[in-house]
Every structure is written in structure tokens, then in C-alpha cells.
Chain A
Amino acid sequence: MELQNYQTPAGSCPLEEYLNSLNEKTRKKVFRNLERLEREGFSLLRTSDIFSKITGYQDLYELKIKFNKMEHRVICGKTKMGLYTLDGFSKKEGKLKQKDITRSLNRLEELKSRNI
């Protein structure tokens, strides 16, 4: 499965910006897990506990990597063209905030409206 990354209409990539905000070791850890997601696809839902569906939202998924006392999260959305990374952020343990979900949901809707 090829993983695509959402780009804003202005051309910036939220995942790239997020990864560049991390130190090298954490960036490697998150990126290796993104490569794993690309390699193993949706089978990660049952073979690991790092990738899961976001409850209550049909096409939203979350890659959650615990590293150095933080949770590093990448939100992904499923479109008819495949899986897109929509956003990335790090936080201490806890539930996703509604504003984080809404931002990703808006990006997913935008992709879908572009017939992607």
C-alpha cells in the first residue's frame, strides 16, 4: 500500500512539518513506523497496537507511537485513492482533542471533494 501525504492548497505538508519539529531520534522512530504502516497496510490494525481506527469516524485512523514519555500521533484518512496522512502531533497520554479530529476531518473532506 502506498501511503500519501496530504498537502494544503498552499503546498505545505503537515506531516513533513511535524516530523521536522521532532529531534532526529524521535523522527526516525515515527518515520520507521510510517514505513511499517506503508509495508503492512491495514493488517496493522490486527497485528499491532500502534494503528487503530478513531472511534466514531468512518475513515479516520491513528498511528500512535509511544517514545520518550510522549505519544507521537499521526492521523490518517482513507479515501478511494488510498491512505493519506493528514496531521501529526505529540502529546502526553490522553484522548485526542476534538479540535485535532476536526482539523483532520476537514482535510479528509477537502481531499474527497477533489475527488481523491
Chain B
Amino acid sequence: MNLKELKEKLLKDEKFRKEYNRYDLAMEIGEMVIDARVKLGLTQKNLAKLVGTQQPSIARLENGSSLPSLSFLKKIADHLGTYLIAPKFAFLEDFSNQTRTVSLTISDSLEISALNFHHADPLINLAQFTTDTATPKESLVEVKSIIKETVNA
């Protein structure tokens, strides 16, 4: 049984399906902080020292169990030499007719390559297109379907 098949089984549990599909901002932020910290080669202790806090507060932030304050996130960004992009209310996002850039993972690129679409070089990891879909994930599905349609034409 692969992970996709296991997911299908797990999502039959309605309570879990609701939880899985719920957008979890604290978890998204936690994963972003982990990625940033690891990318910079820092331990939780290093980052805590840099920001002037204790390691457990970095651990709590990364756990995604509660929402951090924006000022704490800004402080981390400042100390990492970057800046925080303002969050948005989802309903203010206008996705209609925008040209969006979507990141493809290597496996997505290989999947596209397997479709024998020679213009989709597996080494090129960005694709630009016009979309009216709502989320990057949906956009990626759309990229794949555009390519499939082109291949089948």
C-alpha cells in the first residue's frame, strides 16, 4: 500500500478529513520557520540566542500548536536578515486572470517529462501561465492538465 492509498483510507474518517482539509496557519508558520532555520544551518538554540529568547519558545513556534505574534515573527525575520511578507485575508485575494509563478518539485517535473512533453525540461522548475484557480496547489493541477491537453492534441 502506498501513501496515496493510505491517505484515501484515512480520509474516510470524517473527523480526520475535516482536520486534514482545515487550513492551519500556525502549522504553516511553524514549518516555514523550520525550513528557514535548517536552510541557514541553525539549531533551535542558535536561533533562540540570535533572537534573544529561549530554545523552548522556538520549539513551541515550530510545533505549530499556537499562533505566534506578528512582532515575534518580524523580530526573527530581522535577525535572519530578511523581512516578513504581510499576511492577507483569503477573500481579498483576487486570483482571476493573473499570471502566477508556480514551483514544481522534481517529481512533478519528472511526471511532466514522463508525459513526453519535450518543452517541459525537468531541470526547469518554474512555469508561468494564466489562471483563474484559487490556490497554488490547484494551479499546479492546472499546469499538469494544460500540459496533458497539449500532449493529447
Which chain A residues have a beta carbon within 8 Å of chain B's beta carbons? 1-5, 7, 13, 15-16, 19-20, 24-25, 27-29, 31-32, 34-35, 38-40, 47-50, 66-68
Distance A20 CA – B10 CA, assembled complex (angstroms): 8
- Which of B1-9, B82-90, B144-152 is the contact stretch? B1-9
Distance A27 CA – B34 CA, assembled complex (angstroms): 19
Give the residues in chain A near B2, CB-CB below 8 Å. 2-5
Beyond A16-B10, A34-B3, A39-B107, list 9 extra A-B contacts (CB 8 Å).
A4-B2, A7-B1, A19-B10, A24-B13, A27-B16, A49-B38, A50-B34, A66-B62, A66-B63
How far apart are B40's CB and chain A's nearest CB, in angstroms?
Answer: 11
Q: Which of B51-91 contact A (CB under 8 A)?
A: 59, 62-65
Distance A39 CA – B24 CA, assembled complex (angstroms): 20
Establish whether residues B6 and A13, one from each chain, have CB atoms under 8 Å apart when the complex forms. Answer: yes
How far apart are A36's CB and chain B's nearest CB, in angstroms?
Answer: 8
Distance A85 CA – B126 CA, assembled complex (angstroms): 31
**Of B9, B24, B35, B65, which contacts A16 at CB under 8 A?**
B9
Task: List 4 tightest A-B contacts by C-beta distance, closest first.
Answer: A24-B19, A3-B3, A24-B16, A5-B1
Is B15 an interface position by the 8 A CB rule? yes
Q: Contacts A7-B1, A47-B38: A67 and B65 contacting too (C-beta < 8 A)? A: yes
